[in-house]
Amino acid sequence: MTDAPTTIANLLYRYAELMDAGRLDECADLFTHARVLLGDPADGEPPTVDRDGLAAVWRSMVRIHDDGTPRTRHLVATPIIEVEEAAGTATCRSTYTVFQQVDRGPLQPVISGRYLDRFERVDGAWRFAERAYAMDLVGDLSQHVIGDLPEA
């Protein structure tokens, strides 16, 4: 049996793997039982979506290229996981940096920020209960995002 921190870290990495593969609906499935805040709650009350709302947001804004992917690599780092075993809950603060390379252009970081996650254990399995996205550094998103993101 895998311990809670490893299982939770694997959920973070699975998110990155699915997003980079352009498998947006499967990626949204990770949030089937979660509330997703489309911004940093420290900055006020961000819009909140469920799994279907998140999938719709991604389909409307993530640019999918000819190879069926967004041509990105999401690197998730520095996960600080705190588990309340008895309660079956956990939190995780982590950072992300998204690199992108399109056509013959350079490989470059396009955005970096933080994931603020809550998890719950249900029937012995860990799952996302909440995610908040916080953007800290924003580069050239013109080949990754359709339209504009809110200011970081």
Q: What is the pLDDT of residues 43-56, one digit of tens each?
A: 999 999 999 999 99
Please, which pLDDT band fits residue 64 given cuts at 50, 70 and 90? very high
Distance CA 53, CA 11 (A): 20
Q: Is residue 152 part of a domain?
A: no
CA distances from 129 to 8, 11, 40, 49, 97 (A): 12, 12, 16, 12, 22
Q: Is residue 149 part of a domain?
A: no
Which string of b and e fits 5-22 if b means at least 16 CB within 10 Å?
bebbbeebeebbebbbeb
Q: Is residue 117 part of a domain?
A: yes
Residues in the chain: 152
Q: Is residue 34 part of a domain?
A: yes
Q: Is 50 exposed, middle or buried (0-12, 13-18, 19+ CB in 10 A)?
A: middle
CA 12 to chain centre: 7
Distance CA 42, CA 59 (A): 26
pTM strictly above 0.75: yes
Please give the structure tokens belonging to residue 41.
Answer: 């709650």
pLDDT digits (tens, 9 = 90+) for 67-108: 999 999 999 999 999 999 999 999 999 999 999 999 999 999
Q: Is residue 105 part of a domain?
A: yes
Structural domain of residue 82, as residue ranges?
4-138
Of 115, 116, 112, nearest in space to 152 by CA: 112
**pLDDT at residue 54 in the model:** 97
Q: Is residue 132 part of a domain?
A: yes
Q: How many domains does the chain have?
A: 1
Q: Is residue 71 part of a domain?
A: yes
Distance CA 11, CA 63 (A): 23
**pLDDT at residue 147 in the model:** 81
Q: Is residue 43 part of a domain?
A: yes
We report the CATH number of the domain holding residue 111 as 3.10.450.50
CB neighbours of residue 133 within 10 Å: 16
CB neighbours of residue 121 within 10 Å: 19
